[in-house]
Amino acid sequence: MDFEWLKPAAVFGSILYAVIGVVVFWVAFVIIDKLTPYDLWQELVEKHNQALGMVVAAMSLGICIIVAAAIH
Protein backbone atom coordinates (compact mmCIF):
# COMPACT_ATOMS: atom_id res chain seq x y z
CA MET A 1 0.00 0.00 0.00
CA ASP A 2 1.33 3.43 -0.99
CA PHE A 3 1.32 6.12 1.72
CA GLU A 4 2.97 8.98 -0.19
CA TRP A 5 0.04 11.26 0.62
CA LEU A 6 0.80 10.79 4.33
CA LYS A 7 4.33 12.19 4.16
CA PRO A 8 4.91 15.27 6.37
CA ALA A 9 5.67 17.47 3.37
CA ALA A 10 2.36 16.56 1.71
CA VAL A 11 0.38 17.13 4.91
CA PHE A 12 2.13 20.45 5.57
CA GLY A 13 1.54 21.54 1.97
CA SER A 14 -2.14 20.69 2.18
CA ILE A 15 -2.55 22.65 5.42
CA LEU A 16 -0.60 25.59 3.99
CA TYR A 17 -2.72 25.72 0.83
CA ALA A 18 -5.91 25.43 2.88
CA VAL A 19 -4.86 28.40 5.04
CA ILE A 20 -3.88 30.42 1.96
CA GLY A 21 -7.24 29.63 0.36
CA VAL A 22 -9.17 30.72 3.45
CA VAL A 23 -7.17 33.96 3.68
CA VAL A 24 -7.71 34.76 0.00
CA PHE A 25 -11.43 34.04 0.36
CA TRP A 26 -11.67 36.25 3.45
CA VAL A 27 -9.85 39.14 1.75
CA ALA A 28 -12.08 38.85 -1.33
CA PHE A 29 -15.20 38.82 0.86
CA VAL A 30 -14.05 41.93 2.77
CA ILE A 31 -13.33 43.73 -0.50
CA ILE A 32 -16.77 42.89 -1.86
CA ASP A 33 -18.33 43.96 1.45
CA LYS A 34 -16.57 47.34 1.15
CA LEU A 35 -17.67 47.76 -2.48
CA THR A 36 -21.36 47.28 -1.73
CA PRO A 37 -23.33 50.35 -0.62
CA TYR A 38 -24.75 48.62 2.48
CA ASP A 39 -23.43 46.54 5.37
CA LEU A 40 -23.69 42.87 4.39
CA TRP A 41 -23.53 41.60 7.97
CA GLN A 42 -26.33 43.87 9.16
CA GLU A 43 -28.52 42.97 6.20
CA LEU A 44 -27.98 39.23 6.65
CA VAL A 45 -28.03 38.86 10.43
CA GLU A 46 -30.21 41.67 11.73
CA LYS A 47 -32.67 42.20 8.87
CA HIS A 48 -32.75 38.53 7.72
CA ASN A 49 -32.51 39.47 4.05
CA GLN A 50 -32.79 36.03 2.42
CA ALA A 51 -32.38 37.27 -1.14
CA LEU A 52 -29.08 38.91 -0.26
CA GLY A 53 -28.10 35.72 1.55
CA MET A 54 -28.54 33.75 -1.66
CA VAL A 55 -26.45 36.28 -3.60
CA VAL A 56 -23.70 36.22 -0.98
CA ALA A 57 -23.76 32.40 -0.95
CA ALA A 58 -23.40 32.27 -4.75
CA MET A 59 -20.61 34.85 -4.60
CA SER A 60 -18.85 32.85 -1.89
CA LEU A 61 -19.03 29.64 -3.91
CA GLY A 62 -17.71 31.45 -6.96
CA ILE A 63 -14.74 32.84 -5.05
CA CYS A 64 -14.07 29.42 -3.50
CA ILE A 65 -14.07 27.72 -6.91
CA ILE A 66 -11.67 30.32 -8.30
CA VAL A 67 -9.32 29.98 -5.30
CA ALA A 68 -9.43 26.17 -5.49
CA ALA A 69 -8.66 26.21 -9.21
CA ALA A 70 -5.77 28.62 -8.67
CA ILE A 71 -4.29 26.45 -5.92
CA HIS A 72 -4.81 23.21 -7.81
pLDDT digits (tens, 9 = 90+) for 35-59: 888 888 888 889 999 998 898 889 8
Q: What percent of the chain has pLDDT over 70?
A: 93
Please state, in angstroms and rounded to a whole number, the distance separating the CA atoms of residues 49 and 37. Answer: 15
- Residue spans per domain, the chain: 23-71
Average pLDDT over residues 58-71: 84
Per-residue pLDDT at 5: 64
Average pLDDT over residues 15-39: 87
Please state, in angstroms and rounded to a whole number, the distance separating the CA atoms of residues 53 and 43. Answer: 9
Per-residue pLDDT at 64: 84
Which amino acid appears at position 71 of this protein? I
Per-residue pLDDT at 2: 67
19-52 CB burial, b ≥16 within 10 A, e <16: eebeebbeebeeeeeeeeeeebeebeeeeebeee
Which amino acid appears at position 66 of this protein? I
